[in-house]
Amino acid sequence: MDPIFLVEAAINGILLGGVLAVLALGLNLIFGVLDIVWIAYVDLVMLAMYAFYFMVQGHGWSVWVAGPATLVVGALLGIAVHLLIISPILTSAPINQLLATGGLLFFLQSFATFLWTTDHRSVRLSLPSVEIGGIFLPFTRVIPFAISILAMLALYLFLRHTYIGTAIRAVSQDRDAMALMGANPQRVYVVTSAVGGAMAGLAATLLSFQYSVHPFFGGQFGPLTFMICVLGGLGNMVGAFVASFVMSEIIAIGGVMFSTEMGYVIAFVVFIVVMFARPGGILARRE
């Protein structure tokens, strides 16, 4: 095989990894603070993709307006999930919380099918490609990658340098102690859910550049996102970031060497092997 294909696949892997990392960081942020995995996280992305689609195709909005609007839609969805589903059962057994967000997944899929049928809908953005040394880089991948890196940088600065961002990290380490500092835990949860939801809204916009939306879109990226979070260590933001690129590289390179399906098979095998060797994730500290 021409090595240029491998290089191209490796670059495509990096480009996909950026968007996956946005998804994984959003899910992981919520888990770190609330100790709950939102099973329906990527189904919120699906809803936000419909929102983006209707803004662009239905109302003719520019993507530069629809994108930020979708981010806001995501943040509102995040707040709604927290207030309507998580908050009432915050003190009940973790399995109930997991089941509740799992129930939300089926609800959202059925609801979307009911409203919009199972048709695949695409915003059909036609963007050019750039050619660098014989490698074609489509803008539909380069732009989402660049935006996802900027968004993660913004998230990093938010968590690192603002009071509420530092409080979010503090709550993930000790919930009660942060209440003793005067932070209302409920407020920290709402802000965290809004930020996690905004990440879902952003991912929805970026994924719309390449993928069409349908009610079962969550099945395409949901399991992969959970796998990345677990591989990086649940709640570990740096781990999730690294794991996103590890997984997207395996899928991209495995995809050109064998087939797309085989790429996913290899990724899941690597995941299982790593989980046996390092159950706490790739960046877990050794005991």
Partner 1 sequence: MLEVRRVTAGYGAFTALWDVSLTVAAGEAVAVVGPNGAGKTTLMRVISGLVPSRGGELVFEGTPLTGRRAHQIVAHGIAHVPEGRRIFPGLTVAENLKMGAFLPPARRAYRQSLERVYGLFPVLAERRAQRAGSLSGGEQQMLAIGRALMSRPKLILLDEPSMGLAPVMVFRLFDLIRRVRAEGYTILVVEQNVRQVLKLVDRAYLLEVGRIRMEGRAELLSEQDFVRKAYMGL
Binding site for partner 1 (CB under 8 A): 163, 166-167, 169-170, 173-174, 176-185
Looking at the Cβ atoms of 133 and 182, the one nearer to partner 1 is: 182
Closest CA to 146 of 63, 26, 239, 22: 22
Looking at the Cβ atoms of 121 and 175, the one nearer to partner 1 is: 175
Asked whether the beta carbons of 50 and 213 are under 8 A apart, the reply is yes
| Minimum CB distance to partner 1, residue 170 (Å) | 5
Looking at the Cβ atoms of 125 and 177, the one nearer to partner 1 is: 177
Closest CA to 200 of 280, 268, 108: 108
Other Cβ atoms within 10 Å of 126 Cβ, number? 6
| Minimum CB distance to partner 1, residue 33 (Å) | 13
Looking at the Cβ atoms of 129 and 186, the one nearer to partner 1 is: 186
| Minimum CB distance to partner 1, residue 233 (Å) | 13
Asked whether the beta carbons of 224 and 68 are under 8 A apart, the reply is no
| Minimum CB distance to partner 1, residue 79 (Å) | 20
Closest CA to 34 of 77, 96, 97, 102: 97
Q: What gap in Å lies between CA 267 and CA 246, rounded to an integer? A: 9
Q: What gap in Å lies between CA 180 and CA 164, rounded to an integer? A: 15
Looking at the Cβ atoms of 135 and 179, the one nearer to partner 1 is: 179
| Minimum CB distance to partner 1, residue 285 (Å) | 11
Tell me the HSE value of 114 on the side-chain side, using a 13 A CA sphere: 6
| Minimum CB distance to partner 1, residue 247 (Å) | 25
Residue 132: strand pairing partners? 135
The amino acid present at 248, given as its one-letter code, is S
Task: Give kind and range of the element (H or E) at residue 120.
Answer: none
| Minimum CB distance to partner 1, residue 256 (Å) | 40
Q: What gap in Å lies between CA 93 and CA 97, rounded to an integer? A: 7
Looking at the Cβ atoms of 46 and 242, the one nearer to partner 1 is: 242
Closest CA to 148 of 83, 220, 200: 200
Q: What gap in Å lies between CA 55 and CA 123, rounded to an integer? A: 10
First to last CA, the chain: 43
Residue 137: strand pairing partners? 130
Looking at the Cβ atoms of 125 and 238, the one nearer to partner 1 is: 238
| Minimum CB distance to partner 1, residue 187 (Å) | 9
Looking at the Cβ atoms of 16 and 183, the one nearer to partner 1 is: 183
